[in-house]
A and B are shown apart, each in its own frame.
Chain A
Amino acid sequence: MSIWEYANPLKFLNWTTKVLPWVAGCAAVCVSVGLIWGFFFTPDDYRQGSTVKIIYLHVPAALMAINAWLMMLVASLIWLVRRHHVSALAAKAAAPVGVVFTLVALFTGAIWGKPMWGAYWAWDPRLTSFLILFLFYLGYMALWSAIEDADTAADLTSVLCMVGSVFALLSRYAVNFWNQGLHQGTSVPVATGERTVADVFFVPLLISMVGFGLMFLALVLLRTQTEIRKRRAAALIARETT
């Protein structure tokens, strides 16, 4: 059986209905454990004081804001190449979730930046590219709403998604490219494994990151189901009226 058969709308509804409660349950447990552990049971940092507790929200939200866009890019490419409607709907479904993660990262970053940098905002390469990514999210959602024909909307938003991916990647690697600005480089480099975060902070951070990832997955599955049902309902209504 081909993997693409799972992208059949009916099959997608069937298997995601079975999987969704487990993903949502694991997400709720991981997010709760990560945030409660981080907020209540971790010590203050010797330099940052209690503001270090913001890391359990800021890092997972920023990570998922970028990953959500990259997931939308993959789904958009699948739509453009293979014309699977579910992939276009999954990209559409992911955008509002990504925008919320981006907002959380921007807000927590600003409120963390004031006591640490002395400013809520700086036109630093990483922050600026992240803000542009946020604007791309809004533009992407607006474009879906503005075009009546679903296939045309999927085509145009896919192109927009490819353009916006530049800023998704820039917001992750801007520190490496320009080596300037206030924002530090990644504290948890996956490639080298040389993290700068002590275990006492890292373990709840890791749980929170897993939780945000699962939360994203659960919300995208739920919202994709919604989009499939809305499209099916619209098709049936159109058939009734003709």
Chain B
Amino acid sequence: MLPDLGKYAFEVTAAYGVSLVLLAGIVAISWRQHSVARRQLKEIEARKDG
């Protein structure tokens, strides 16, 4: 399945592996913070209205 990367297999797979982890990390952190902020604001607004 993987293409033949020859003698540079380590360099190419490391570049893709580390980059994808970093990109997935910022997406996951941003999404998590977004969900927490939305839930907390809803709770505060509900408390204020109630």
Contact = CB atoms under 8 A, between A and B. Distances in A.
Given A50-B3, A232-B41, A233-B40, A112 B34 contact: no
Interface string B1-37: 0011111110110111011001101110111011001
A112 B15 contact: yes
A44 interface: yes
A57 B16 contact: yes
A111 B11 contact: yes
Contact of A107 (B12, B19, B45): B19
A236 interface: yes
A115 interface: yes
Nearest to B33: A226
B29 to A, nearest CB: 8
Interface string A100-141: 100110011001101100000000000000000000000000
Chain B interface secondary structure, helix, strand, loop or mixed?
A: helix
A107 B15 contact: yes
Contacts of A226: 30, 33-34, 37-38
Contacts of B37: 225-226, 229-230, 233
Contact of B30 (A57, A61, A115, A223): A223
For chain B, which range describes its interface: under 10, 10 to 19, 20 to 34, or 35 or more residues? Answer: 20 to 34
A158 B3 CA distance: 46
A12 interface: no
Given A226-B33, A226-B37, A236 B27 contact: no
Contact of B19 (A57, A97, A115): A57
A53 interface: yes
B15 A111 contact: yes
Given A97-B26, A222-B34, A223-B33, A49 B40 contact: no
A71 interface: no
B41 A49 contact: no
A240 interface: yes
B19 A61 contact: yes
Interface of B: 3-9, 11-12, 14-16, 18-19, 22-23, 25-27, 29-31, 33-34, 37-38, 40-41, 44-45, 47-48
Q: Which 5 A-B pairs have the closest CB atoms?
A: A229-B37, A50-B5, A100-B26, A229-B41, A226-B37
